[in-house]
A and B are shown apart, each in its own frame.
Chain A
Amino acid sequence: MFDIIIYVLTLLASLTVVGSASSAGILNGAFSRAFAGVSTQIVSTKWLLAYTNTESFIRACLEGQVGLTGYIFLASLGALILTWTTNLYNYRQAII
């Protein structure tokens, strides 16, 4: 369940990478954009889930082990996901 937050974050991040690269005139083809996007998400998700303890920290925050500051962190993370998703919907890029 806690993995989903990381999947969403890395999806938004990979869309940002592809969008930025595309704006800069790189990755013009659909295949190269798709390849770069999928690769970025796989690598960043693998990194965050397998080599860092981001997932266990998020879980600890949700379970209240980090106290009030943990909930504040989750609210900030939620605001970030919400912002990037809204941007993606309205402006076709996560960060404007």
Chain B
Amino acid sequence: MKKKKPLTAIQFNALAIITLVAFMPFAIAFITSAGSDSDGRYESSINGSTSTFGKGYWYDNGANYTSYYETEYPMPPGWYNCGYISNGQCGEDYSYSTDKQVFFSLGSSTSYTDVTSYTVKQNLQNVLEPGEYLGNSGPGPYGWLVFGDTFTGIEENESLDKIKYNFVDTFTEYLCDYEGFTDLEVKASLTFIYENESKVFDNYNMIVSNKYEYNRYDANNAHWGDACVNGMSLEFDFTGFESLSLTDFNGGEWSQTDHLIQIQSIERVDGINLGSTLLPFNGDGLFVFSAEHQEIDPVQAGFIIKSLTTVLSAGTFLLAIGSTQYWSPLMNTFKGRI
């Protein structure tokens, strides 16, 4: 039998480079998607109707236009102290309102699709009368802290693969080709808060549409049909190890884990100034909030992540040894034994 020739230096170098820039990234891609739900079906994260008062509060509500509203619609001092909310707190003048936070206080649950949602206040509903909204709240930041007990659809000990938050203004319908619908680039982050500790997932860049299409019953024409409204879905997709570390973080106690959803900035993809672009959570009215999620199999994901990382470590270590002059003596030592 013809003896195989050992690798030449150039062949080994080529192998090393291929391992580094091709094999390793693919192996890592496989590791990061370990255990992901492949059927792509979302489950509602909010089930049925629960007690709805104070299920969360506004954390940030856009740019500060308080001086504009004070000039345009004069009111008693302190009236607009919650017209601008930053880091979960209203403005500094608390003479009118004793609340430092604006709760999602309307709180009726509704099912506009097959997922349960909450009807909540738009960013300036608390301080403006209908029709007073400027039509613009700036490119951000926006944020909502939603309490853990809202998410009755996420079972305890479940590991999340993805979670999607829907913000939809179901109260005004548009033609589906309405020119106000556009694609937006959203920079967002998600923070889970459990027992005063937080776990942050940041640097998400999403391209989302401000058009939300769904099937609903049209009472005027007595039939089911598609409706196009102003809405936005923010999807946070976790890698396999992020899902597992998240479960480690809160021990799977989702009812006690608050979700802080933050939008750092919103820009139009077409480059036009955001201006008065339709955003479902801006205005002096209401919108609906819902959440959907996919779960991950933690046992399968843990096995794939740990075993593949071990293989990757062994391969990298062998590559390091193979890059030295000790490789040939080492192979000679094992020759005939394995």
- Please indicate whether A and B come from the same complex rather than being unrelated chains: yes
CB pair B320 A76 closer than 8 Å: yes
Main SS of chain A's interface residues? helix
CB pair B314 A76 closer than 8 Å: yes
CB pair A69 B12 closer than 8 Å: no
B160 CB-CB contact with A under 8 Å: no
Query: Which one, B20-28, B172-180, B186-194, B262-270, is touching chain A?
Result: B20-28
CB pair B323 A95 closer than 8 Å: yes
CB pair A52 B325 closer than 8 Å: no
Given the known inter-chain contacts A54-B24, A60-B241, A80-B323, please indicate yes or no for A69 contacting B32, CB distance below 8 A: no
Complex CA–CA separation, A82 to B317 (angstroms): 11
Task: Kindly list chain B residues whose C-beta atoms are within 8 Å of the C-beta of A56.
Answer: 32, 239
Complex CA–CA separation, A77 to B312 (angstroms): 10
Interface size on B, residues (CB 8 A): 36
Within 8 A of B (CB), among A43-95: 44, 47-48, 51-54, 56-57, 60-61, 65-67, 69-70, 72-73, 75-77, 79-80, 82-84, 87, 94-95
Given the known inter-chain contacts A13-B20, A48-B21, please indicate yes or no for A83 contacting B320, CB distance below 8 A: yes
A96 CB-CB contact with B under 8 Å: yes
Task: Kindly list chain B residues whose C-beta atoms are within 8 Å of the C-beta of A84.
Answer: 320, 323
Interface size on A, residues (CB 8 A): 39
CB pair B29 A53 closer than 8 Å: yes
CB pair B306 A83 closer than 8 Å: no
Of the listed residues B17, B29, B32, B317, the one surrounded by the most CB atoms of chain A closer than 10 A to its CB is: B17
Please list the residues of chain B having a beta carbon within 8 angstroms of any beta carbon in chain A. Answer: 9-10, 12-14, 16-17, 20-21, 24-25, 28-29, 31-32, 239, 241-242, 244-245, 305-306, 309-310, 312-314, 316-317, 319-325
